Structure 1
Amino acid sequence: MKKPIAFFVHHQGRGHANRTMAVAAEFARDRPVSVLTAGPHLFEGFCRDIEIVTLPDMIGAAVPTPRLYAEPTPQVMHCVPLGLTAMRRTMRTILDHLDARDVGLFVVDVSAEIALLARIASVPAVQIRMHGDRSDIGHVGAYEACVGMLAPFDERMEQDDYPASLRAKTFYSGGLCTSVDGVLSRAEAREKLGLDPEREIVVAVTGGGGSGTPYAPLTVAARAVPDALWLTLGPTHREGHETDFANLRELGWVPSVTDYLAAADIVVASAGDNTVHEVARVGGRLVVMPEWRYFGEQTRKAEALVRLGAAIQAPVWPGDLQGWRDLVARARTLDGTALRGLYAPDAARRAAGWLEGLTDELWHGATEPPAPPVVAAG
């Protein structure tokens, strides 16, 4: 029997879960797969047979006493409050599952502490690589504790400050996009969506992991470039003083983001992993506006995109008319070729193949533990 592969999946947004499903769907059918997560609902309807283990949701859990709350966080860790019953249950559930299933590889997406826990428990782990300023002892310790890292992006997107020793144990799958909708031509997409075939269209999109695209700057954009149609996909964040304009429409969540991206002349987007690769998949002109994330994750990813000529970026959301006109003019000079090259259609399959191959390599030649001695009845 093949060694099981288990995933720890963070439940903030949908990106971690969607990535896990995309990879797990490519595993051999006789490979046992399990997922440990505080967001089991994110896997509803997944077609592959997997075991779901529900973990406590510790976000916002209260520390029981002021004295416990006052204890400083050790530098080797990031989020380890003291006195939380839910945290003990989480760690116990993870360890019990890894032990009971005799897991061969634990894929952590993402948590430095869980990666360290796996090593302490003598379970080989792989950490999903993310961009950001992660040279602190906590991140480096977690990376060193792992048998490898999986980067779901093109190696050209890697940061210069990522140590060579860690790069050597990192597998780059190429740009992994979890969207599977077919990509239409611009004309086909506009006809399907009932959009003007000739008008310039700018689409602003963000995922579900943050507070949404700031709406106020887009009202300035709509005034600055009034001949364009501005559309927003996903959540938006309003401050309460915005004036709406006829050429700016909030669409919210739509059935097929891909169709709107294909219909767009320019896309304004956050620097989330899947968002960037969705735009790359259609070869769009990308204005990347990173959202705040821990360790500057989206900021560092945006820097990589700009460095490769795959996107343009403004230092901040323009608050004036000329700022938007200049940004749109710069975006029109992009042709999408550099960005399209960062998307790999076979990324999920390549990631799955590497994870399965690594698991089999790690356990090649292992023998079953001897059966406990049978004590004869006296």
Structure 2
Amino acid sequence: MTRGIGWYVHHQGAGHLQRARAVATHLHRPCTIIGTLAEADTTGLDVLDLPDDRPLGNGAGFDGNDGEAERPEAFHYAPLRHPDLRSRMARIAAWVERTDPALIVVDVSVEVALFARLLSVPTVVVRLAGERTDRPHREAFRSASRVLAPFPASLESPGTPDWVRAKTFYAGFLGGSRPALAGDGQDVVVVFGKGGEGGDLGALAAAARAVPERTWHVLGPVSGLGETPVNLHLHGWVADVGAFVAKAAILVGGGGDGLVALAAAYGKRFLCLPEPRAYGEQTEKAEALHRLGAALVRPSWPVAEAWPDLMREALALDPSIIAGLYDPEGLEGCAAFLDGLAGEGGLR
């Protein structure tokens, strides 16, 4: 019987699960998705659902740290007396004992990476963008057989240590296959993901009024009250984001992996508004895109009067630069890398 791969996915946002699903379809061995998945769409996937280990009670504003004064320096999150955390680790251990996986991909959790090492299972630790040079991250990378970066090497953070770079497989963007490029559209497409706070209706309406010659399509959550101009359309959650992106002249949104991957895959002029994330994940990625000339970057949602000039600046971008960051064989290459590591005679 072929030994399978476990793939742990973090609960923050939708990108971790989307990445695992996309790569798993190209693997040549069984893959079990592991995580807090009760509210996620896991249709067609083999899953190990875990209890939610976030703070007991109200977890609003949770920053990934447990607040324990005596937490070991190798951990980010190891709260005491948390029964769901205890239960999730027990379920992972039981699954490992039962299935004897060849490999566990950890996207992302320092604690799960180190726990898998204690269970004597080889790991591939996913390394997101940002300054991840703190001790817990370093120990997770050190414990791993390899490190996987879901972005091209050209977006690497300048502060990443050489030994981490040497251990890293740069998989490129893993957001799905490249579509047939449709050329320039006419619309402004704004995307808010599941990991952020969403859009403000007043700010969106003001931007749309400032650029009345363009039709604005907004995907994802929007809050607030007010009148909506005729050129502004709010769609909420949509099943096929790519269908809207394909018609965009300009794509607007944060610096999350999924949206940056879409901008690259479709070769779209991109106005990147990085959202606050731990370790400067989106900010670091946005700065790299700016250095390459692949995107226009602003630190927050622009004021209404700035939008006409922003449109002109964004339209002056060369879309071939961001399109050049996309590897159409990235998913297959990542799956082949993992299959190779997990293969007989590979990692034990």
Give me the TM-score of the superposition, normalised by structure 2: 0.90
Distance in 1 between the 2:234 and 2:177 partners? 22
**Which structure 2 residues correspond to residues 136-147 of structure 1 after superposition, within 5 A?**
136-147=134-145
The corresponding residue for 1:292 is: 276
**Cα 1:302–1:273, aligned 2, differ >3 Å: closer, same or farther?**
same
The corresponding residue for 1:259 is: 243
The corresponding residue for 1:372 is: none
Are 2:177 and 1:210 equivalent residues in the alignment? no
Distance in 1 between the 2:41 and 2:220 partners? 20
Distance in 2 between the 1:203 and 1:236 partners? 14
Single out whichever of 88-97 and 209-218 deviates more from structure 2.
Answer: 209-218
The corresponding residue for 1:194 is: none
Shift of 1:255: 3.7
Shift of 1:62: 4.3
Are 2:168 and 1:185 equivalent residues in the alignment? no
CA offsets 1:313-347 (integer angstroms, 9 cap, x no match): 113221241x2222212101012101111112211
Distance in 1 between the 2:302 and 2:42 partners? 40
Which residue, out of 286, 290, 303, partners 1:302? 286
The corresponding residue for 1:56 is: 51
The corresponding residue for 2:187 is: 201
- 2:23/2:174 contact within 8 Å kept: no
Distance in 2 between the 1:327 and 1:340 partners? 20
The count of aligned residue pairs is 341
Distance in 1 between the 2:202 and 2:131 partners? 29
Structure 1 residues without counterparts, runs of 5 or longer = 191-199, 367-378
Distance in 2 between the 1:98 and 1:276 partners? 34
CA offsets 1:60-104 (integer angstroms, 9 cap, x no match): 4249xxxx9764544321121110111111111111211221111
Distance in 2 between the 1:230 and 1:348 partners? 31
**Cα 1:137–1:262, aligned 2, differ >3 Å: closer, same or farther?**
same
Are 2:272 and 1:282 equivalent residues in the alignment? no
Distance in 2 between the 1:273 and 1:362 partners? 33
Shift of 1:358: 1.2
**Cα 1:90–1:269, aligned 2, differ >3 Å: closer, same or farther?**
same
Give the counterpart letter for 2:174 in structure 1: L
Distance in 1 between the 2:196 and 2:112 partners? 23
The corresponding residue for 2:308 is: 325
Are 2:86 and 1:106 equivalent residues in the alignment? no
Structure 2 residues without counterparts, runs of 5 or longer = 59-65
Is the partner of 1:211 in helix, strand or coil?
A: coil
Is the partner of 1:82 in helix, strand or coil?
A: coil
Is the partner of 1:246 in helix, strand or coil?
A: coil
Is the partner of 1:265 in helix, strand or coil?
A: strand
Identity of aligned residues (%): 39
Shift of 1:273: 0.6
Which residue, out of 334, 345, 348, partners 1:351? 334
The corresponding residue for 1:316 is: 300
The corresponding residue for 1:9 is: 9
Give me the TM-score of the superposition, normalised by structure 1: 0.84
Distance in 2 between the 1:37 and 1:328 partners? 40
Are 2:265 and 1:270 equivalent residues in the alignment? no
CA offsets 1:133-178 (integer angstroms, 9 cap, x no match): 2111011111111111111211111111111111111111122223
Q: Larger Rg: 1 or 2?
A: 1
- 1:204/1:213 contact within 8 Å kept: no
Shift of 1:22: 1.1
Distance in 2 between the 1:10 and 1:293 partners? 14
Is the partner of 1:301 in helix, strand or coil?
A: helix
Give the counterpart letter for 2:325 in structure 1: L
Give the counterpart letter for 1:8 in structure 2: Y
- 1:314/1:327 contact within 8 Å kept: no
Shift of 1:44: 3.0
Distance in 2 between the 1:154 and 1:332 partners? 24
- 1:177/1:278 contact within 8 Å kept: yes
- 1:206/1:275 contact within 8 Å kept: no
- 1:148/1:169 contact within 8 Å kept: yes
Is the partner of 1:34 in helix, strand or coil?
A: strand
Distance in 1 between the 2:70 and 2:253 partners? 37
Distance in 1 between the 2:31 and 2:173 partners? 23
Are 2:224 and 1:229 equivalent residues in the alignment? no
Shift of 1:256: 2.3
Distance in 2 between the 1:164 and 1:361 partners? 30
**Which structure 2 residues correspond to residues 159-178 of structure 1 after superposition, within 5 A?**
159-178=157-176
Shift of 1:124: 0.9
Shift of 1:26: 0.7
The corresponding residue for 1:27 is: 27
